[in-house]
Amino acid sequence: MGGPGDTPEGTPEGAPGGGEDEYRSVVFDESFVRAARLQELSAQERIGDHAPAVRRRPPLRRGLSRQALVLVLLIALAFGTAIYMGVRHPYQAPAAKDAVEPLRTTVIPLVPPGKVPGTADTASLYDHSPAAQFKKGAEGVPLPASRRTAHFSDSQVVAALTTAKDYIVRSAIDPDVITGGGVRPVRVLLDPDQLDQFDQSFARPTPDGRHAPTGWLVRFDPGRAELADREVRVQGTLQAAEADPSTLEVTADHTFVYALRPAGAGDEAEASLFTVRRELHFRFDRDDLRLHQAQLVVSYVQAGPLSCAEDSTNHLRPLLAGQTAKEGGPAGTDPYATGSATALCGSLATSAMPRV
């Protein structure tokens, strides 16, 4: 019998000589097999050593993305701020506004001492009267230098003075208003709580010291007189002061001089001067200052030449050039003087009339 390495029939035909087997390179002896160990690679090792067969999916992230986290933080911050502000500054209903005092009016007609002087030359009338140096129109109502008060700023004091000036200009200088036209330019400057009184004054004029249109504004009877010169002469003062921590007061004291002629008489008709001394007291709370409106609480008016027999509640009915009236009331009252008149009907001082 042959040895372990020999085939039974000897070497096959065509086999290489020397007893070498062509499969010898793949035949392992027993010691090699025993030394070999099976080892299965882990999943992480297989991933690292071998390319994946398909496109790798992005790993799932646990929790919120950065953008979502920021959004959540912002919402939480806004919500927390709202709660904090609600606790620190709870909503409070605005304090009830103090009742607005109704306007008190006094209109004193001034009777001329004789015939009313007149001329067709209005410039001559002014030049020969105490109004010779008066300013024209709104220039005669300058704003004074203003200073802040204990509870109101400079700008608030200026706002009060400016509103008072606007009221004066619209109610005593505006040609459309003083010739009996619309009253809206004056009305829009009033505190809303005074509008009912204002409207009642024009709907039902009454000489009760509360409802006289001529206490709110200057206006002439359009059927009797018209302006001979649309530039009214004015001189006076404005003063502001703090009444209390929530109220500013402005006192206005002005004299207005109008050149008038008979209604419809034409430019050649003689003109005469008509004088109005007007003291107004305004009151302003913070809402009034913000809304450019005023509370008019006192209106004290002296006007002439007028007749005491004429009702001056609704319109002023002036005595014109060449006209006379019966004397009445106490001794002459001069509307150019700084003292306060007390008569309900007075006499116009001779010194207040133009010398023509």
What are the C-alpha distances in Å from 229 to residues 168, 235, 263, 326? 19, 17, 13, 28
pLDDT at 1: 46
State whether residue 218 is helix, strand or coil.
Answer: coil
pLDDT at 229: 95
> Where are the extended beta strands (E) located within 89-210?
104-111, 135-136
For 216-266, write each residue's pLDDT tens digit.
Answer: 999 999 999 999 999 999 999 999 999 999 999 999 999 999 999 999 998
As a whole number of angstroms, the distance between CA 200 and CA 242 comes to 30
pLDDT at 296: 98
CB 335 within 8 A of CB 101: no
Please check the confidence at residue 62 and state whether its pLDDT lies above 70. Answer: no
Mean pLDDT of 182-205: 96
Q: Which amino acid is at 234?
A: V
State whether residue 294 is helix, strand or coil.
Answer: strand
For 89-100, write each residue's pLDDT tens digit.
Answer: 444 444 456 788
CA geometry: angle 252, 254, 255, nearest 5 deg: 165
CB 278 within 8 A of CB 301: yes
Nearest CA to 151 out of 303, 289, 337 is that of 289
Please check the confidence at residue 151 and state whether its pLDDT lies above 90. Answer: yes
Please check the confidence at residue 340 and state whether its pLDDT lies above 90. Answer: no
Please give the helix or strand (H or E) that residue 79 lies within, else none. Answer: helix 66-88
CB 107 within 8 A of CB 219: no
